[in-house]
Amino acid sequence: MHALFDERRYLIPFRSILLPQIFTDTLVIGSGAAGLTAAIQASAHGDVILLSKSQLETSNTSWAQGGIAAVLSSEDSAAAHVEDTLAAGAGLCDVPMVERIIGAGPEAIERLLAWGMRADRDEGASLELAREGGHSHRRIVHCDGDATGREMARCLIEQVHLRDTVRVFDRCFGLDLITPSQSDRSPCMGAVTFHPEYGLQMIWARATILASGGAGMVWRETTNPQVATADGMAMAYRAGATVADVGFMQFHPTTLYIAGAHRALISEAVRGEGALLLDANGDRFMVDRHELAELAPRDVVSRSIVQQTARLGTPHVWLDPRPIDGFARRFPGITTSLKPFGLDPSRDLIPVNPAAHYAIGGVRTDATGRTDVPGLYAVGEVASTGLHGANRLASNSLLEAVVMGRAAGLAAAEMLSDTDDNAWGTRPRTGPVRVISDIRPSETGELDLTDVRSSVRSAMWRNVGIERTGSKLSDAMNMLDMWGRYTLDKIFDDPEGWETQNMLLAAMLITRSASWRRETRGCHTRLDFMEPSSGVPVHDLWKKGQQDPVEVAVLVQTEA
C-alpha cells in the first residue's frame, strides 16, 4: 500500500496568514437533509456558515425517491420498526442507536410537516403510508409518490433562508479540515475551502459539522449524483478521525439499465406497491430466494439479481410494474424519467440491475454526532452511527439525517462556551496556523484525471462490488496502490483533482476494510467466506497511521 495513503495530511500546501480569513460559530459542510437540519438547529445558538459543494439543491437527499420511515400508525409500533432495522442490519446494529433514532421519528415528521413539507395523503387527508423492502408495516411517508427527497430538501432550504444567522456558501469546495497539529486528538477549527470566484479561504469555526454525503461515485455503476465523491470521509480521515465499517456499501437492486443512460433509481416503493422481478424466462426468481420475495432486504435482492443474470447469461433482469394500478399517478417522477426511452410502465417491463447506492459505514460518531476529533461532528451518510449495521433498511436514511442533524446542531453549542465544560474537556480556539503543509509536487508528467477516475471506478465495480473474494480485493488494492503512486503526491489546483484524490483514498479504505472482513454479513458478500463469523459481531474501526483495525463489539444495551 502506498505510503502516502496514511502520510498525506493536506491536499495542498498553504500558509493560513496569506489566505482570506472568515469566522463563524458553526461550520456545516454539506447541504443535504442532515446538513440543512444541523444548520437550522445550530442557528439557534450562533452564526452558521453552510457550505454547499454545488448548488444548494444538489445532494443525495434531492435525488431520494424513497421516503422517510417512522411509526405513525396504530397498527405499527416502534418495537416492530426496531426489529425490522435489526434484521436488515444483520447483527451489526448498535441497538441503543436504533432505538434512539426510531423513537425520535414521529416528532421529526411532525416538525417537517409543521415547517411546510408536503406529504401524500389519502381521501380522508390522513398520511398515505407506503411499505418498502424489509419493512413489516406501512410506515413510509412519501411526497408526490417518488419525490420525497426533493420536497424535503425544498422545505429545509426554505427554513434555512428564513434564518438570518445562516450564511450559505454555494459552489464552495471543502478541501480539508483545519487542525493545529497532526497529533492525536488535535482539535478541528474549521476548514480550508475553495470557491471558483474567491479562491482559497480559511473558514474558522468553533464547531464543524461534516454532512458531505456519500461515496457512490467511487463505483462505476451508481445512483448517486456526481458530487458524491467521498470528500467527507477522506478529509475526516486525513484529520485523524476514526472511520468505521466502510467496507459496507449498499447496492440498490433496481436501477434503470439502458446503455448510455444514467443508472436512474427505480424506487423500492415500486416493489412495495406490487411490482415483480422477472428473469429472462419471465420467472419470479425471488419467490424461491426469500420469504418476502421482492420485498426482501436490498442485499438479498441485489445478490439474487447478480446470481440470476450470471446463471442465465443475461445482462439484466426485468421489473414488471404492470400489476400496479395507476402507476403514473403513484410514481409520476419515474414515469417521466422512462418516457425518453419509450417505456410505459402501464404496459412495458423495465430493464434493471443493481448499482452502488448508499455508504453504510463512515466517520464514527456517538449518539450526538461527535467524532473523536474535538470540535468535529458528522451526520448523515458520511457518518457511521451504528443505526444501519451491515445493511440499511429502506427509508431509514432520511430519518437518520433529520434526527442526527438536529442532535449535532444541538450538541455543537457546547463548543461556543468560554469554559472548558464540554465532551472533550477543551475548546478549540481559532488562531493563526503557520506552515501547515510542505508537500512538494512530484516530478512525473501530466496525469489524465479522467483515466484515473475511470480506472478506479471500474476496478471497484469489478472487484469490490456486490460479490467479493480475497483475490479480487487484492487485485483492486494493487491497482489502487499503482494509481496512488501517480496521484496522491500531486498538487492540484481545482476540484477535479481533489475529488480524484479523495475517491482514491476512500477506495483504498473501503477495499482494506472489505479485505479484513472475512465473512458474509449484510451487504458485504465474500464468496470465499460465505457465512457470518462466529462470536459477537464487531465494527472495524480504522484510523490514520494504523494498519489494522480496532475491533469494537456491537452495543446491545446502553452503556452505564
Q: What is the pLDDT of residues 208-231, one digit of tens each?
A: 999 999 999 999 999 998 999 999
> Average pLDDT in the 27-42 region?
97
pLDDT of 400 > 50? The answer is yes
- 220 a catalytic residue: no
Phi-psi region of 109 (alpha: psi -120 to 50; beta: other; left: phi over 0): alpha
| CA–CA gap between residue 146 and residue 158 (Å, rounded) | 21
pLDDT at 55 over 50: yes
Cell representation of residue 148: 420525497
Q: Is the pLDDT of residue 530 over 50?
A: yes
Query: pLDDT at position 438, please?
Result: 45
- Count the residues in the chain: 560
Span 234-242, mean pLDDT? 97
Q: Which among 298, 364, 427, 526 is annotated as catalytic?
A: 298
Classify 69 as helix, strand or coil.
strand
User: What are the Cα distances from residue 435, in Å, to 180, 203, 438, 439?
Assistant: 10, 17, 7, 11
Question: Of 399, 356, 377, 413, whose CA–CA distance to 33 is shortest?
Answer: 399
Query: Is residue 380 within 8 Å of residue 401, measured between CB atoms?
Result: yes
Q: Which H or E run contains 205?
A: strand 199-210
Q: What is the DSSP string of 494-526?
A: SHHHHHHHHHHHHHHHHHHHHHH--S-BTTBEE
Same fold, 29-60+160-248+360-415+448-549 and 252-356: no
Q: How many CA atoms lie within 13 A of 435 on its CB side?
A: 3
In this structure, the dihedral spanned by the alpha carbons of residues 27, 31, 37 and 39, taken in order and rounded to 10 degrees, is 20
- Give the number of other Cβ atoms within 10 Å of residue 331's Cβ: 27
CA dist 535 and 447 (Å) reads: 47
CA dist 188 and 428 (Å) reads 7
Over range 233-237, report the average pLDDT. Answer: 97
- Under the banding of pLDDT at 50, 70 and 90, the label for residue 183 is low
pLDDT of residue 531: 96
Q: Which alpha helices (DSSP H) does 48-189 contain, by range?
A: 60-63, 78-88, 95-103, 105-114, 148-161
**Structure confidence at residue 149 (pLDDT):** 83
The reported pLDDT for the residue numbered 560 is 46
Least confident of 72-76, 179-183, 241-245, 295-299: 179-183
Q: What is the pLDDT of residue 202?
A: 96
Element (H, E) at 452: helix 449-463
User: Which residues, in sequence order, are CB contacts of 272 under 8 Å at separation 6+?
Assistant: 130, 131, 132, 133, 135, 140, 295
What CATH fold (topology level) applies to the domain 252-356? Answer: Flavocytochrome C3; Chain A, domain 1 (3.90.700)
Give percent of the chain with pLDDT exceeding 70: 91
Nearest to 217 by CA among 504, 482, 516, 544: 504
Nearest C-alpha neighbor of 168 from the set 54, 248, 83: 54
Whether 62 has a pLDDT exceeding 70, the answer reads no
CA gap 461, 513 in Å, rounded: 16
In the predicted structure, residue 274 carries a pLDDT above the cut 90: yes
Name the residue among 146, 172, 145, 140 with its Cα closest to residue 35.
172
Who's near 344: CB < 8 A, 6+ residues apart? 338
The most confident of 103-117, 247-261, 323-337, 439-453, by mean pLDDT: 103-117
Cβ atoms of residues 204 and 22 within 8 Å:
yes
Q: What is the pLDDT of residue 65?
A: 60
Residue 289's alpha-carbon distances to 205, 269, 292, in angstroms, are 51, 20, 9
Q: Cα dist. 437→374, 491, 499 in Å?
A: 21, 11, 19
Please check whether residue 492 is in contact with residue 539, taking contact to mean a CB–CB distance below 8 angstroms: no
Cβ–Cβ < 8 Å for 437, 14? yes
- Grid cell at residue 82: 426496531
Does pLDDT of 488 surpass 50? Answer: yes
CATH superfamily of this structure's domain 29-60+160-248+360-415+448-549? FAD/NAD(P)-binding domain (3.50.50.60)
Q: What is the chain's Cα-based Rg?
A: 22
**Residue 455 CB burial class (10 angstroms; 0-12, 13-18, ≥19):** middle
So what's the pLDDT on residue 268? 81
C-alpha cell of residue 309: 443474470
Judge whether 231 and 502 are in contact, CB under 8 Å: yes
**Chain-centroid distance, C-alpha 12:** 25
Q: What is the pLDDT of residue 489?
A: 87
Extents of the domains making up the chain: 29-60+160-248+360-415+448-549, 252-356
* Secondary structure, 3-state, 468-494: ECHHHHHHHHHHHHHHHHHHCCCCCCC
